[in-house]
Amino acid sequence: MDNPKVEANFVQPLPKNSSLANMAFESIREAIITGRIKPGERIGQVELAKQLGVSERTVREALTRLVAKGLAVHEPFKGVRVAVLPLDELREVYVMRALLEGRAMELAAGCITAAELQKMRDLLPLTVASSKSGSVENAQGKNREFHWIPIRAAGSRTLARVLEQLWEMMFAYELLYQNQDEVNISRDDFSQHKKLLEALDARDGKRAAQINTEHIFTTIAILLERFKAHELLE
């Protein structure tokens, strides 16, 4: 596939009182995991330095960290581009997420608070997309918030840290090649999310883990078929 350079205005200038290297890393990372910089796109060091208002050295340091996290790859004599996961690797990321997130849901069922459950209830209708422009991206963001409430409630820093990296590796792929099925898919997600919430509310950790695992495998099946159709991944 072609690897065009990242276009302008995907990242925002950094505040002058920030830790520049860290803020540059977070700004570029956010652009990648939200799909503003897409898998396979080259990341121009000079362009990003201008957009962020920092030196090329600062951007280079941020890109080195992104490569270390697996979100980008360095190509000799070509620079850095956003990583593209082959189908088998993307499937493996989702399988690992399903296993670990299932464990998180099981743990969360025993300690999630009433306030956290209420926050999930508030987010639930917002995870459903509509035909309006930008609705799918917004629903995906709310979907992420919904899942991360019980993940954090599980109380395991190690589990959350590993899951965060897995989410970052796969989240942008869910925003690629949207089509007319997105609204129906998000409605199906709503049904699964509702069942997950009910299981957590009932303190049924085994049931919560099962529902979440089924939900993730449904998602990956849809994505893999879509990517195969577009020949995005090999």
Percent of the chain with pLDDT over 70: 84
Q: Would you state the pLDDT for residue 182?
A: 66
Alpha-carbon span 43 to 30, nearest angstrom? 14
Q: What's the rounded mean pLDDT across residues 200-213? A: 97
**The pair of three-digit structure tokens given for residue 128, joined into one six-digit string:** 């459903």
pLDDT above 50: residue 132: yes
Residue 17: pLDDT band by 50, 70, 90 thresholds?
very low
Residue 40: pLDDT band by 50, 70, 90 thresholds?
confident
Q: Would you state the pLDDT for residue 233?
A: 52
- Residue range 1-15, pLDDT digits in tens: 455 555 546 666 655
Contact assessment for residue 20 and residue 58, using Cβ atoms and an 8 Å cutoff? yes
pTM value is 0.76
- Residue range 59-101, pLDDT digits in tens: 999 999 999 888 889 988 888 998 887 888 888 999 999 999 9
Alpha-carbon span 35 to 223, nearest angstrom? 15
Q: Edge-to-edge strands of the sheet including 79-82? A: 42-43, 79-82, 72-75
- Residue range 146-170, pLDDT digits in tens: 999 999 999 999 999 999 989 988 8
- Residue range 166-192, pLDDT digits in tens: 998 887 676 665 555 666 677 788 999
Domains with residue ranges and CATH for the chain: 20-82 (1.10.10.10), 87-230 (1.20.120.530)
